[in-house]
């Protein structure tokens, strides 16, 4: 560590948020610390260990931000991807330096979390996982409310948790979200394989499949090939198969979220070419959210906005939304 960074960190240890977020100091000069944690979920009397990963600087004045992964990936490849020469692709490092206490976790059946139960790890199971993690984060941070970001089926997991426990969610961002699934080309393709998914709790994945996440929407050039390969390396180092539950839910059980009961401040972030949901489907959900503190944004990206070349747009939208002051007046 060079002397300038040592000086910065030494001063930050006794300073408040102003120093850590000072515009005179580039965010990349802030050291991000990572620690692993093991929340435990009670599942009908069984204790399920969940891997959680926390990254932050010496202070996190903006609060706790929990990231929720999707169907075919684990948490750290999505949110803490380390690519030489491309530090921006660690979402957690980026947001930690912006002042958030960042967390991600592997849902049951994924990555380092328990895989012992004979289940397909559906959306509801993921929402239960998130509850266990949110409770753990509250104990670690002293705050019962968190910011949430979920992508794809992770958006459904996060949304279901927020629907169940709106008082525990400060703000939620739903990326690559699907409501009814009507008209979705991606879900239509999956539906043809539904008997296969229902016959097994897991499905195999390989490098070609992971690449298809970036190319299936017809805009593969929206992602940097080097990032795609690093992402595939990270995913395949942890698993060669994934649970089938979210695929089953998204092809035959939608809608899982009721916008009339969705009460938390919400950002819906949609990639222009995302095939998981039509724009009409997303707009229909957005129009019916009862909380007027809501935003809908689109960026030129496919299904994976945080891994796209336009990551800066996605990061800006998320930080602006999470750091937005609460409304001073919400009606009589």
Question: Which pLDDT tens digits describe the chain residue by residue (332 residues)?
Answer: 343 333 333 333 333 343 344 444 566 779 999 999 999 999 999 999 999 999 999 989 999 999 999 999 999 999 999 999 999 999 999 999 999 999 999 999 999 999 999 999 999 999 999 999 999 999 999 999 999 999 999 999 999 999 999 999 999 999 999 999 999 999 999 999 999 999 999 999 999 999 999 999 988 899 999 999 999 999 999 999 999 999 999 999 999 999 999 999 999 999 999 999 999 999 999 999 999 999 999 999 999 899 999 999 999 999 999 999 988 898 87
Phi, psi at residue 150, to the nearest 5°?
A: -130, 140
Burial 222-259 (b: 16+ CB within 10 A, else e): bbbeebbebbbebbeebbeebbbbbbbbbbeebebbeb
What is the reported pLDDT for 27?
Answer: 65
What is the reported pLDDT for 326?
Answer: 86
Contact 267, 324 (CB under 8 A): no
Q: Six-digit token pair at 239?
A: 């698993």
The domain limits of the chain are 27-322
Q: What gap in Å lies between CA 290 and CA 263, rounded to an integer?
A: 6
Q: What gap in Å lies between CA 263 and CA 163, rounded to an integer?
A: 7
DSSP H or E run through 266: strand 266-271
Handedness of CA 312, 160, 154, 56 (dihedral sign): positive
What is the reported pLDDT for 25?
Answer: 54
What is the reported pLDDT for 24?
Answer: 47
What is the reported pLDDT for 20?
Answer: 45
What is the reported pLDDT for 219?
Answer: 86
Using only C-alpha atoms, the chain has a radius of gyration, in whole angstroms, of: 19
Please state the length of the chain: 332
What is the reported pLDDT for 2?
Answer: 41
Topology at the third CATH level for domain 27-322? Rossmann fold (3.40.50)
What's the whole-model pTM score? 0.92
Q: What gap in Å lies between CA 176 and CA 178, rounded to an integer?
A: 7
**Which residue is it, tokens 């991600």?**
104
DSSP H or E run through 270: strand 266-271
């Amino acid at each position: 560590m060079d002397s300038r960074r040592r000086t910065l960190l030494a001063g930050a240890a006794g300073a408040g948020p102003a120093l850590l977020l000072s515009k005179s100091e580039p965010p990349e000069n802030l050291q991000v610390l990572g620690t692993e944690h093991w929340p435990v979920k009670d599942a009908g009397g069984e204790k399920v260990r969940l891997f959680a990963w926390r990254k932050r600087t010496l202070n996190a004045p903006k609060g706790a931000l929990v990231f929720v992964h999707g169907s075919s990936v684990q948490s750290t490849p999505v949110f803490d991807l380390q690519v030489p020469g491309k530090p921006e692709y660690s979402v957690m490092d980026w947001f930690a330096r912006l002042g958030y206490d960042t967390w991600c976790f592997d849902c049951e059946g994924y990555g380092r979390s328990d895989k012992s139960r004979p289940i397909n790890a559906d959306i509801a199971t993921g929402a239960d996982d998130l509850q266990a993690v949110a409770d753990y984060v509250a104990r670690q941070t002293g705050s019962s409310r968190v910011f949430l970001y979920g992508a794809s089926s992770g958006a459904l997991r996060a949304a279901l948790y927020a629907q169940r426990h709106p008082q525990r969610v400060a703000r939620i961002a739903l990326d690559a979200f699907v409501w009814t699934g009507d008209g979705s080309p991606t879900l239509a393709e999956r539906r043809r394989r539904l008997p296969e998914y229902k016959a097994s709790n897991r499905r195999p994945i390989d490098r070609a499949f992971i690449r298809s996440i970036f190319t299936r929407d017809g805009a593969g050039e929206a992602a940097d090939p080097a990032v795609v390969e690093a992402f595939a390396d990270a995913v395949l180092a942890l698993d060669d198969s994934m649970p089938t539950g979210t695929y089953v839910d998204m092809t035959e059980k939608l809608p899982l979220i009721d916008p009339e009961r969705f009460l938390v401040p919400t950002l819906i972030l949609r990639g222009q070419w995302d095939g998981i949901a039509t724009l009409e489907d997303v707009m229909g959900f957005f129009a019916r959210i009862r909380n007027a503190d809501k935003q809908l944004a689109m960026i030129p990206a496919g299904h994976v906005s945080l891994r796209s070349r336009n990551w800066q747009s996605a990061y800006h939208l998320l930080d602006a939304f999470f750091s937005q002051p609460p409304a001073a007046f919400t009606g009589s």
